[in-house]
Structure formats: structure tokens, C-alpha cells
């Protein structure tokens, strides 16, 4: 017998791995997907290592192998171990990230009603709920019953209730693994099996079977050798499975079953785009990456390129070079950037070799793309966060575009960060990895400063670098001129060139001057100028809806979400009040629900109101809005973008959706309605986030030959975030922000972990949090774990969501894994290592 270590996908098996035996001639290897006996059930498992014969323990045997070849490579298994350790999650959860979509299955528990047993008297409420549900449905999943009981706040008693019902013989419980939720799509095709003189003979023979004859004639029309899908016959109303089967029995047609690929890029044409001329900076960056690719060793780069400097072209060249060396590529882009523009650029350069993976695909499409990638039929995988786990063979390079984006962090267990996973995978497998950004995260910039990433800098916009700069130099007001650039600290490297000038407008001064509208005088004038020149304008506001809160002026009552306690936001398109945390909706009230007064006022500003105000202020302009509400339908993003690109609108109003990577050459003015929206949130990344947003939004201006400018409206014009963003000075921002992080001991100067407890009943939540904080402090004292701070417990900034209270403990310090590994947390705790936010 041979022995292997298996991570088991079953409750109770998550905290450790287990040893199983198998016949040595079974093709079981590291990375194999297997079924194993576990307790008294069968469960899925993944082989994570080979082991020697264990000393005299009873060892059970693997029940069966689920796939003839390993589903994970040894490097992937090693990556899974790292994820489990670093993010403090079960190894099996980390490994399941890498399985084909729908294949990972936990055993689930089925509860069914026993026949002919009379319930005893005195059943309690919970027991009666369960029994009643089973009388209606006979068999249900355990999770369904728990959901029913949760509505009566009895979820915690599910086990007790079931144990009692089983002991009375009223119900059975059994456990099973569900088959994979996705599988290849097989379609039936029909083909002519006769020719020549046999055809008229067949038609004659079918004289008395008119439906078979109609189907046969249709198949005949398709011509000899052509295979028609059965669904086509069915759609045309000339045949079905029974009719075709009858024809096959007569030997007139043959039936085949074939796998059909569900292709997310089907029905789309991608014009082939020849590679453009590189700027000197692009050339230099590409040369370094090329050298690294040839060396086939771990080589991490930070490609710091200002907006419009051509980072994507560097990615494309690097990928082409990897392909030339017989290797393949993974490209991660933020979910929102998976616009047709991005996919078109990659598909146009690598026609037929691209696979796409993101959450808007159907499960079937994702499954088929996954299998295509594993079979080596796609060379370049582009996708959002989870595409880092695509089973690419001979991987050579990983590219992470907009590496600072928050969407790379998964907000459910395992709470991995795709950038850090990519760096680890590159290290384990000896890959080149390129992190690209105009505004690198503090972590990445600091890693570069410390020499852990190599910086490639693109300081100029393409047009400037190639001498095709703006025909109409942007206005002079508010420009931080090039004279200042020349005196800039040379140690910072070359300063950005070709970015649009930014003007800061102090809203306090506007208010003093009596302007109470949302458009400052400079912004209003600039919009009018752009419109008169038939140019396009983007107005950015990072808040959806109309108002930020709704208040009764008689009694001061603020409309709040009953489950989250946050103020509700008025959305005029649906005339509803909407909770932005849980999406609860209710009709806008006619009067105050508290005092029955009628003086309801709507305060604050969101994109819907901005859209209305823009139409009022510029009645001749065509206005388009792009936010989550206006782009909720599938394909809506593409449609809004297409309309704006085709100049079917003059002004685009939107949230951060408009900030990402769009290339809109007719946009000459970007107005930031309020720079302060996210600046004052109590989160250590609030300033960094605001800087990134402002820079990205400003980067939408002046990307064409018309030039452009940016106007930022703010109540805190002297804040270093606003100052640095307006000067396009990443380094100034970086130094100030780094000093702040150092002073307070935040990342990158420490590790951070957030322990969050979420449940109904604030008193209990608080008790649990206090108890754990006490335990942790005791543990730190006893084990002398120096250098770890315990912050809290305290209610989270978002104290209540969907009726459940949220308390948190923050751990800050070095080598937090020492401490985290020793905690045994009950399941309602979530551990978030390297949290992206602490709100
Ligand atoms: Zn009132
Ligand atoms: Zn809510």
C-alpha cells in the first residue's frame, strides 16, 4: 500500500489533514481529487502529499479517484498551503479556490420524514416547525431547515431539535456528496446516412410517416456530410428526439453526441490591431521584462506608469515575448475594467488564444474556459481576481493591472489578496510578475523602495513621448508649470509629463461668495466652454442616489434602515429610499413616520441628483449617468460606454466606475464635484483611496489631441492628498502617507488582522468580543509574544448590517501568524488578514 496526506472537504475535517492508503498501482498523486471515507460519511478530498507508512494507526483507504489526472500541480498545492497559513483558513478552502467551477462539493445533510410514525405530545415550537416543513417537502437539506428556524431566532437550536426528532424515530438524516454542479455541454447532432439512389427510395418509404419524412427532408436539405443540431430541428418544428431515433432505426440518419464549447467571446469580432511604436520608456521597461523572462527565475516588477503612459502596451509585448518562449500568461484586471475595450485589445493582439474568466460568465462558460485552459488551448488568460487560480500550463508571466485596486481582495473566506497570491505563486514557480499602476498601493511602493520589487517607470503620456503632444495646450489657470518640474528633486526620477493641469476650487470661498449651487463658478465656466467647442465632460461624484440622508425638519427624525441603522438614501429613478449596505428599499414617505409632520427634507448629493442638476444648469447638453443603478443590467456597461464614445452624450455623470482605464479622447474636462466624500472615513486607507480615485479620475482628461483639464472642488484644499493629486505628484503623496503609516504603526510597517464577530443581539456580540480580547491579551502575556498590539474590542464603523451587530478586534504587529494559529475561534468569528478596510 502507498500512503498519502489528504485535505478533506467535510465539516469536522477542516482544521487538519488526514492520512489514507491506496493501492500503489492507482494513479493517485499530489493534486488528485479523491473520495474518502470520513467518520461515517464519504467526502471529497485533495491529495496534498505523499507520506511514509504511519506507525500502527488504523488507516482507511481512498474510496475512489474523481479525475484520472491530478487537478492541481505541486506548485498549486504549495500555494494552497501558503494561503491557508497566511490567511488563516482551512487548507481545503484554499485548495478549492483552484478547482474547476462547481466541482468542489461538501457533503450535505439530507433530512427526511420517516413513514408512519406518530409524533408524541409536547413537541416544542422548533420541533413543530421542522416537522411541518418535512410533511410538505418530505426531504430537505439541513441548511434549509436552519434557514426556517433562523426566522424564529432558533437557528442555534437546529442540532438539538434534530437529535430529538431522530431519537423519536420521526426523521432520518443522511449525508451525501452532490455530483459536480457543472459538466461539459453535450449536444445531439443528426447527419444523413444514405446517398444516391437510396434517397428517393427512402422518401418513398417514408410516404406513410409524414413527420419522419418532414424531418428527413430537412436533413436532406442540409446536404451530405452536414450535421444538424437536434435543437435546430426542434426549433424549426420539424423533428424531435423520437422522430430522429425512428429515422436512425431505419438506417437513414446517424446520431452523434458532441461536446459544445460555451464561448463567452462567441459572436464578437475583434479587429486585429498591429503593435504600435513604443515610447523610449516603454521600450526600456519591456527590455527589462524580456531579460527576466529569458532567465526563467522569479522576477517581480512594479510598472509605475502615469495615466495614459501606455502600460497595457508593455503588458502586450511582455506576453508576446512569453509566448515566443513557449510559455503562457495570466492577466488580472479589476472586475470593472473587464470592459469590451480591454478584452478587445487583448483579443485583437492574440486572436483565438485568449480565455476570459470573470464573475459575470455563466457557470457553464467558466467551466468550459477552465477546461480549455487546462488542455492548453488558450495561451493568455484574462480575468478578475480568481483568474489567478486558472490552471495554466507552462505559465511564464503574471500581470496585475491596477494592482492598487481593492477588488483584488476577496471579501469572504478565504480572504486572499490576488496580488499577494500572484507574488507567492511567481516565487514558487519561478515566474515573472508585473504589477502595474499609476498610483501604486503603499505596500507595493514601499516594497519597491526596499528592493523587493523592481521599478519600471513610465513618466510621460504616449502623445508627449512620441512628440504628438496636444495641439491646443491646456489653459494656464491653475497649471503647475514645467518650471516647477525642472527644480523638482532629481532623486525622485523624472517627473510626470503630459498630464492635464488640475485646478483646485475652494468650496468655502464659493459659499462665502454666495454660490450655493453644486457647480463652482470656475467649473460652470469650464463646462460651458467645453460644450461650446463640442467636447466632452466627465463629472465625478462617488455617491449614488439623490440625497445622502432624509430628515424631518419638525422633529429631526432621520430615515434609517431598520436592519443596518444607516441613513437611507433617496433614489429618484425608483422613488424609493435605499439602504446602501443591504439594498433594503422602501417607498419615500409622504410624511414623517415619527411626528406625522410634512416637512421632509432631502440633504446631501448623489449621482442621480447631480444628473438632474446638470440637466437644469446646462439644458442643451445631453447627459448620461453611469453608476451601479444605471448599469445594473447585463450589457448595460457596454451600452453606456458605447453611447459616450460615439458622442451621443456631452456630459457623463458617474461614480468610480468612470475612473477606470477608459480611453476617451474627446473628454477635455473632468470635474470632481466633491473630493472630500471618502477622505474623512475612519479608516487608515481613506487618504490613499481618495488619492487613487482623484488621480484615476483626473487621468480621464486630455487623452486626445485636444488636451484637457481637471477641476477638483473641495472643502479642504490644503490637505496633502488633494495637493499631491492636483500636482500629479505621487512621490509627495507617498512620503507624507508613509510618514503617517509609520507614526501609527500601520501597514506596510506592521501586519494587520481584523477579527470580526457578527450576530444578532448586541449584548452577546459585545460579550464574545470582550471575552476573546481578554484571551488574546492573556495569551500574549503568557507566551511573551512581543510586538503585537490588541486594539479593541469595539463596534465596527458599520456597526449593524442586515440586523446583525458587528464588533471587531484589530491585531497589529509582526508575525501575527504566531498568535492567530493558537486561537481556536468559534465559527461566527471571521479572521481577515491584511484587511483592505477596517470599516
Ligand atoms: Zn418628524
Ligand atoms: Zn440596510
Q: Would you say residue 819 has pLDDT above 70?
A: yes
CA of 493 to the centre of ligand 2 (A): 48
- Closest ligand (CA of 554): 1
CA of 805 to the centre of ligand 2 (A): 12
Express as a percent the part of the chain with pLDDT over 70.
95
CA distance 282 to 460: 10
Q: How high is the pLDDT of residue 400? A: 97
Q: How high is the pLDDT of residue 493? A: 45
Q: Would you say residue 123 has pLDDT above 90?
A: no
126-139 average pLDDT score: 87
CA of 569 to the centre of ligand 2 (A): 10
* DSSP β-ladder status, 804-813 and 64-65: unpaired
CA of 576 to the centre of ligand 2 (A): 13
453-468 average pLDDT score: 84
CA of 592 to the centre of ligand 1 (A): 5
CA of 589 to the centre of ligand 1 (A): 11
- Closest ligand (CA of 585): 2
CA of 608 to the centre of ligand 2 (A): 20
Q: How high is the pLDDT of residue 491? A: 36
Lowest mean pLDDT of 468-477, 592-601, 752-761, name the range.
468-477
Between the CA of residue 645 and those of 333, 527, 536, 707, what are the distances in Å?
21, 18, 10, 17
Q: In this predicted model, which residue has the larger pLDDT, 703 or 254?
A: 254
CA of 586 to the centre of ligand 2 (A): 11
Between the CA of residue 403 and those of 71, 425, 518, 792, what are the distances in Å?
28, 16, 33, 31
Q: How high is the pLDDT of residue 770? A: 92
Q: How high is the pLDDT of residue 484? A: 35
- Closest ligand (CA of 601): 1
CA distance 286 to 279: 10
Q: How high is the pLDDT of residue 475? A: 37
CA of 596 to the centre of ligand 1 (A): 6
CA of 585 to the centre of ligand 1 (A): 20
Give the confidence band of 488 by pLDDT, cuts at 50, 70, 90: very low
Q: How high is the pLDDT of residue 473? A: 40
Q: Would you say residue 295 has pLDDT above 90?
A: yes
What's the half-sphere exposure (Cβ side, CA atoms, 13 Å) at 804?
Answer: 11
Strand, coil or helix: what is 55?
A: coil
Give the confidence band of 839 by pLDDT, cuts at 50, 70, 90: confident
CA of 581 to the centre of ligand 1 (A): 24
CA of 596 to the centre of ligand 2 (A): 23
- Closest ligand (CA of 560): 2
Q: In this predicted model, which residue has the larger pLDDT, 783 or 812?
A: 812
What lies within 8 Å, CB to CB, of 298 at 6+ separation is 426, 427, 430, 431
Q: How high is the pLDDT of residue 116? A: 78
CA of 605 to the centre of ligand 2 (A): 19
CA distance 453 to 446: 9
Q: In this predicted model, which residue has the larger pLDDT, 489 or 470?
A: 470
Q: Would you say residue 480 has pLDDT above 60?
A: no
CA of 735 to the centre of ligand 2 (A): 38
CA of 235 to the centre of ligand 2 (A): 45
Give the confidence band of 506 by pLDDT, cuts at 50, 70, 90: very high
36-55 average pLDDT score: 88
Grid cell, residue 485, equals: 518640474
- Closest ligand (CA of 799): 2
CA of 558 to the centre of ligand 1 (A): 8
- Closest ligand (CA of 586): 2
CA of 545 to the centre of ligand 2 (A): 15
Lowest mean pLDDT of 173-187, 424-438, 441-455, name the range.
173-187
CA of 384 to the centre of ligand 1 (A): 46
Q: In this predicted model, which residue has the larger pLDDT, 442 or 560?
A: 442
CA of 803 to the centre of ligand 2 (A): 8
Give the confidence band of 642 by pLDDT, cuts at 50, 70, 90: confident
Give the confidence band of 659 by pLDDT, cuts at 50, 70, 90: low
Q: How high is the pLDDT of residue 338? A: 63
Q: Would you say residue 376 has pLDDT above 80?
A: yes
CA of 558 to the centre of ligand 2 (A): 14
- Closest ligand (CA of 569): 2
CA distance 95 to 357: 18
- Closest ligand (CA of 798): 2
Give the confidence band of 482 by pLDDT, cuts at 50, 70, 90: very low
CA of 514 to the centre of ligand 1 (A): 30
Between the CA of residue 348 and those of 12, 369, 689, 833, what are the distances in Å?
49, 18, 33, 39
CA distance 256 to 189: 5
User: Using an 8 Å Cβ cutoff, are 686 and 737 in contact?
Assistant: no
- Closest ligand (CA of 555): 1
CA of 94 to the centre of ligand 2 (A): 31
* DSSP β-ladder status, 64-65 and 60-61: unpaired
Q: In this predicted model, which residue has the larger pLDDT, 16 or 267?
A: 16
> For residue 699, which of 401, 496, 457 has the smallest C-alpha distance?
496
Q: Would you say residue 415 has pLDDT above 60?
A: yes
- Closest ligand (CA of 553): 1
List for the chain the helix, strand, coil content (%; round to 5).
35, 25, 40
Express as a percent the part of the chain with pLDDT over 90.
33
CA of 608 to the centre of ligand 1 (A): 25
Summary mean pLDDT of the chain: 85
Q: How high is the pLDDT of residue 179? A: 67
- Closest ligand (CA of 600): 1
Q: Would you say residue 774 has pLDDT above 50?
A: yes
CA of 564 to the centre of ligand 2 (A): 4
> Which of 351-360, 439-448, 503-512, 587-596 has maximum average pLDDT?
439-448
Q: Would you say residue 783 has pLDDT above 70?
A: yes
> For residue 381, which of 368, 398, 364, 367 has the smallest C-alpha distance?
398
Q: Would you say residue 663 has pLDDT above 90?
A: no
- Closest ligand (CA of 595): 1
User: Using an 8 Å Cβ cutoff, are 697 and 440 in contact?
Assistant: no
What lies within 8 Å, CB to CB, of 465 at 6+ separation is 279, 280, 281, 309, 497, 498
Q: How high is the pLDDT of residue 314? A: 96
- Strand-pairing partners, residue 603, are 549
Give the confidence band of 496 by pLDDT, cuts at 50, 70, 90: low
Q: How high is the pLDDT of residue 515? A: 85
Q: Would you say residue 481 has pLDDT above 50?
A: no
Q: Would you say residue 822 has pLDDT above 90?
A: no
- Closest ligand (CA of 589): 1
Amino acid at each position: 500500500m502507498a500512503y498519502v496526506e489528504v485535505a478533506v472537504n467535510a465539516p469536522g475535517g477542516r482544521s487538519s489533514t488526514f492520512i489514507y492508503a491506496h493501492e500503489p498501482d492507482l494513479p493517485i498523486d499530489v493534486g488528485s481529487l479523491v473520495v474518502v471515507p470520513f467518520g461515517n460519511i464519504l467526502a471529497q478530498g485533495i491529495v496534498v502529499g505523499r507520506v511514509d507508512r504511519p506507525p500502527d494507526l488504523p488507516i482507511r483507504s481512498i474510496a475512489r479517484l474523481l479525475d484520472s489526472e491530478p487537478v492541481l500541480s505541486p506548485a498549486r498545492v504549495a500555494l494552497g498551503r501558503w494561503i491557508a497559513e497566511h490567511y488563516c483558513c482551512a487548507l481545503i478552502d484554499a485548495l478549492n479556490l483552484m478547482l474547476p467551477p462547481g466541482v468542489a462539493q461538501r457533503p450535505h445533510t439530507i433530512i427526511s420524514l420517516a413513514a408512519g410514525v406518530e409524533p408524541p405530545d409536547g413537541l416544542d415550537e422548533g420541533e413543530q416547525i421542522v416537522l411541518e416543513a418535512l410533511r410538505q417537502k418530505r426531504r430537505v437539506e439541513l441548511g434549509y431547515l436552519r434557514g426556517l428556524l433562523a426566522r424564529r431566532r432558533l437557528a442555534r437550536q437546529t442540532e438539538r431539535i434534530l437529535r430529538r426528532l431522530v431519537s423519536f424515530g420521526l426523521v432520518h438524516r443522511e449525508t451525501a456528496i452532490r455530483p459536480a454542479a457543472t459538466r461539459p455541454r453535450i449536444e445531439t447532432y443528426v447527419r444523413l446516412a444514405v446517398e444516391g439512389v437510396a434517397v428517393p427510395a427512402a422518401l418513398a418509404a417514408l410516404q406513410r410517416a409524414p413527420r419522419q419524412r418532414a424531418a428527413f427532408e430537412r436533413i436532406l436539405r442540409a446536404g451530405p456530410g452536414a450535421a444538424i443540431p437536434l435543437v435546430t430541428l426542434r426549433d424549426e418544428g420539424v423533428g424531435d428526439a423520437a422522430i430522429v431515433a425512428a429515422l436512425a432505426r431505419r438506417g437513414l440518419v446517424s446520431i452523434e453526441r458532441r461536446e459544445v464549447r460555451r464561448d463567452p467571446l462567441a459572436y464578437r469580432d475583434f479587429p486585429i490591431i498591429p503593435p504600435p511604436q513604443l515610447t523610449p520608456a516603454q521600450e526600456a521597461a519591456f527590455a527589462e521584462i524580456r531579460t527576466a523572462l529569458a532567465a526563467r527565475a522569479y522576477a517581480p516588477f512594479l510598472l509605475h506608469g502615469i495615466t495614459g503612459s501606455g502600460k497595457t502596451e508593455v503588458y502586450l509585448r511582455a506576453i508576446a515575448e512569453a509566448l515566443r518562449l513557449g510559455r503562457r500568461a495570466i492577466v488580472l484586471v479589476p472586475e470593472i475594467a473587464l470592459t469590451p475595450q480591454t478584452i478587445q485589445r487583448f483579443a485583437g493582439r492574440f486572436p483565438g488564444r485568449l480565455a476570459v474568466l470573470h464573475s459575470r460568465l455563466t457557470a457553464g462558460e467558466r467551466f468550459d474556459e477552465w477546461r480549455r485552459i487546462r488542455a492548453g488551448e488558450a495561451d493568455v488568460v484574462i480575468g478578475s481576481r480568481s483568474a489567478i487560480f486558472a490552471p495554466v500550463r507552462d505559465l511564464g508571466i503574471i500581470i496585475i493591472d491596477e494592482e492598487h485596486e481593492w477588488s483584488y481582495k476577496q471579501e469572504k473566506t478565504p480572504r486572499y489578496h490576488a496580488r499577494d497570491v500572484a507574488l507567492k505563486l511567481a516565487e514558487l514557480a519561478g515566474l515573472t510578475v508585473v504589477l502595474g499602476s499609476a498610483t501604486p498601493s503603499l505596500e507595493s511602493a514601499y516594497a519597491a523602495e526596499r528592493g523587493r520589487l523592481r521599478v519600471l517607470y513610465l513618466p510621460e503620456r504616449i502623445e508627449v513621448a512620441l512628440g504628438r503632444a496636444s495641439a491646443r495646450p491646456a489653459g494656464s489657470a491653475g497649471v503647475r508649470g514645467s518650471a516647477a518640474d525642472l527644480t523638482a528633486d532629481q532623486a525622485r526620477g523624472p517627473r510626470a509629463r503630459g498630464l492635464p493641469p488640475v485646478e483646485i476650487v475652494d468650496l468655502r470661498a464659493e459659499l462665502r461668495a454666495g454660490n450655493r449651487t453644486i457647480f463652482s463658478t470656475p467649473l460652470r465656466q469650464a463646462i460651458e466652454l467645453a460644450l461650446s467647442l463640442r467636447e466632452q465632460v466627465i463629472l465625478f461624484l462617488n455617491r449614488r442616489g439623490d440625497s445622502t440622508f432624509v430628515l424631518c425638519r419638525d422633529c429631526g427624525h432621520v430615515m434609517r434602515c431598520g436592519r443596518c441603522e444607516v441613513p437611507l438614501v433617496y433614489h429618484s429613478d425608483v422613488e424609493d429610499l435605499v439602504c446602501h449596505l443591504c439594498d433594503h428599499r422602501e417607498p419615500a414617505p409622504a410624511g414623517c413616520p415619527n411626528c406625522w409632520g410634512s416637512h421632509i427634507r432631502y440633504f446631501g448629493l448623489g449621482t442621480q441628483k447631480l444628473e438632474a442638476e446638470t440637466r437644469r444648469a446646462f439644458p442643451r447638453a445631453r447627459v448620461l449617468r453611469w453608476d451601479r443603478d444605471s448599469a445594473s443590467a447585463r450589457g448595460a456597461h457596454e451600452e453606456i460606454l458605447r453611447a459616450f464614445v460615439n458622442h451621443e452624450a456631452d456630459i457623463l455623470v458617474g461614480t468610480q466606475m468612470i475612473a477606470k482605464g477608459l480611453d476617451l479622447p474627446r473628454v477635455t474636462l473632468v470635474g470632481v464635484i466633491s473630493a472630500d466624500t471618502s477622505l474623512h472615513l475612519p479608516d487608515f486607507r481613506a487618504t490613499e483611496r481618495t488619492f487613487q480615485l482623484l488621480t484615476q479620475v483626473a487621468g480621464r482628461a486630455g487623452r486626445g489631441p485636444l488636451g484637457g483639464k481637471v477641476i477638483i472642488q473641495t472643502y479642504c484644499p490644503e490637505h496633502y492628498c488633494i495637493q499631491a493629486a492636483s500636482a500629479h505628484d505621487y512621490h509627495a503623496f507617498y512620503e507624507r502617507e508613509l510618514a503617517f503609516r509609520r507614526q501609527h504603526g500601520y501597514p506596510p510597517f506592521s501586519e494587520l488582522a481584523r477579527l470580526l464577530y457578527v450576530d444578532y443581539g448586541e449584548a452577546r456580540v459585545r460579550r464574545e468580543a470582550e471575552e476573546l480580547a481578554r484571551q488574546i491579551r492573556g495569551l500574549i502575556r503568557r507566551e511573551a509574544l512581543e510586538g503585537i498590539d490588541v486594539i479593541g474590542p469595539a463596534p465596527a464603523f458599520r456597526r449593524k448590517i442586515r440586523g446583525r451587530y458587528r464588533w471587531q478586534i484589530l491585531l497589529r504587529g509582526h508575525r501575527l501568524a504566531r498568535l492567530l494559529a493558537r486561537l481556536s475561534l468559534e465559527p461566527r468569528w471571521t479572521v481577515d488578514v491584511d484587511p483592505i478596510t477596517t470599516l
